[in-house]
Amino acid sequence: MRRFNSYGPINTNVHYYSPRKELIARAFNRLVGENPSEDGHYITVWAPRQTGKTWVMQEILFQLKKDPRFHVLKINLESLKDKDDTGEIINVMARKIGEGLGKKIPRIDNQDQFQEIFKKDVLDKPLILILDEFDALSEKGINTIVSAFRNIYISRLDERDKSTEQKTYLLHALALIGVRSVLGIENEKGSPFNVQRSIHISNLTFEEVKGMFQWYEKESGQEIEPAVVEKLYKETAGQPGLTCWLGELLTEGFEDYQVDKNRPITVRDFDIIYAAATYALPNNTILNIISKANREPNKTFVFDMFQTNEKLEFKFDNKIINALYMNGIADKEVVDQTQYYIKFSSPFVQKRLFNYFSYEMFRQMGTLVEPFASLDEVITDTDLNIKNLLGLYQEYLGKNKDWLFKDAPRRNDLRIYEAVYHFNMFSYMNEFLREKGGRVVPEFPTGNGKIDLLIKYKGKQYGIELKSYKDQTGFKMALKQAALYGKRLQLGEVYLSVFVQYIDEKSRAKYEVDYLDEEMGVMVKPVFIATGN
């Protein structure tokens, strides 16, 4: 029986997978060419990490090997990632190409010699070359090699009157996998390789994810509630590595959870494995994402992504956005097919980053409540008063803000990033309620800066939506968004926590007024939190 796999390229003989026939056919046809007797295309295959680039090209490799007209080679270049000497890089590549073709290539150490190995007197038939992990090479190495490929490409265009096997160079087609640098993002002089075609490996669609789990149901005989697959897809946005990891946990279990094959997999099962994936289990994809997000200049940009007032434009040619995208941290949100905004790649990734930064910044919270303070108006054995709990947090903030935010990251205008306050409020409520049997869960329903806190206490649920005050228009929109959040939770009332630098008592009395959204049937209770920074 097959299994879900999230550790490198999948094996179609033993793992569940989505065939992705249309994607594979498109890349295959570009390499072979519209007319195989002429030229194939030189293409780039690009996508964030763990999206299946290598596997897609492996499937194409197996198909191409069946065509006797071509030599076909796939070479992994990750072993060259620590090499700085361009001569050494191209010599090792030439040696690998020679080994793959069963030819002995003499030592080479410059671009001209590298180009020579693709000539007709060296190759006996056209070559389709696939280079994996190409962007692992040094910038200088990349520029030298793609310059050689560009020269070969132009030479073949100059001989368009000849068939592919009659041309001076027999490099029929080329695929560069993982090619952020080749796209010209980091090259100050511009890309030396005019990419003719590119293949983007997108996340799995919902139908593709559903198809893998239906395959599991058929093989195992174990049913999966439809809502399980829906939640899994929503949380991962179909990212292949994370989808298959959660699929593995669901169907195989782990140390703290054993799968009962005699009953259907339920939403409760998903909640169990999702909590473990969020808090307790390591995953290389997530660890890499956290590592990249925690480095400057990425870190402060990620903090900016958590802000709730306005969307940030997605610009692929921005070096930071490009890096966040290629490392699986960020993705684009398309509005009206003409506007592009940046968002987190998935709610799961956003949650993992939120948890990480909250803990990193606020492991030490100090005294949450004065030892002899009465909490009767805040919490009882059966209920929580959220408004009074927020008031308690406001008191805590006023007393401790100087040391809490002493080293907090600040924007160019020296104001503390909005995300820092969200991390702090979550940390405060989580620590306050944990010892009292309560639980606080941050939620990210859309992948953008939207943040909700779901509080569970004594069998009851309470919802808080977090916002920062910008202006009256934004506040009115926030009230409606909070009402929608309350409806989604099936709550009659929900709280809107609004961070603001300063608010006087007159304004507080004016704006802290319960708002009934008649369309949603939800009462929204706004509470302003003055940060004083």
> What pLDDT is attached to residue 309?
79
CA 74, CA 5: separation in Å to the nearest integer? 22
For residue 180, give the 3-state DSSP assignment.
Answer: coil
H/E/C letters for each residue in 230-257? HHHHHHHCCCHHHHHHHHHHHHHCECCE
282-287 contact pairs (CB < 8 A, 24+): 283/6, 283/242, 283/245, 284/7, 285/6, 285/49, 285/50, 285/239, 285/241, 285/242, 285/245, 285/328, 286/242, 286/349, 286/352
- Residue 416 DSSP class: B
Q: What is the pTM of this model?
A: 0.90
Does residue 45 or residue 185 have the better pLDDT? 45
Residue 183 pLDDT level (bands cut at 50, 70, 90):
low
Ordered DSSP codes for 339-365: EEEEEES-HHHHHHHHHHHHHHH-S--
CA 527, CA 391: separation in Å to the nearest integer? 8
**Mean pLDDT for the stretch of residues 270-290:** 95
Cα–Cα nearest to 62, from 37, 27, 36, 95: 27
Percent of the chain with pLDDT over 70: 96
515-517 sheet: strands from edge to edge: 439-443, 451-457, 460-468, 493-500, 522-530, 515-517
What is the token pair recorded at 288? 């890499």
What is the token pair recorded at 11? 């094996």
Residue 451 pLDDT level (bands cut at 50, 70, 90):
confident
User: Please, are residues 224 and 217 in contact by the beta-carbon 8 Å criterion?
Assistant: yes
For residue 330, give the 3-state DSSP assignment.
Answer: strand
For residue 488, CA distances in Å to 492, 493, 520 come to 10, 11, 9
Angle at 231 between CA 238 and CA 229, to 5 degrees: 75
> What pLDDT is attached to residue 402?
93
Contacts of 444 (CB under 8 A, 6+ apart): 344, 347, 350, 351, 354, 450, 451, 452
Interval 486-516: pLDDT, tens: 998 899 999 999 999 999 999 999 999 999 9
Residue 193 pLDDT level (bands cut at 50, 70, 90):
low
**Mean pLDDT for the stretch of residues 377-392:** 96
**Mean pLDDT for the stretch of residues 155-180:** 91
User: Please, are residues 173 and 129 in contact by the beta-carbon 8 Å criterion?
Assistant: yes
Residue-averaged pLDDT of the chain = 92
42-46 sheet: strands from edge to edge: 71-76, 127-132, 171-177, 42-46, 197-200
Instruction: Point out the least confidently predicted range of 202-211, 247-256, 404-413.
Output: 404-413
> What pLDDT is attached to residue 7?
81
> What pLDDT is attached to residue 459?
94
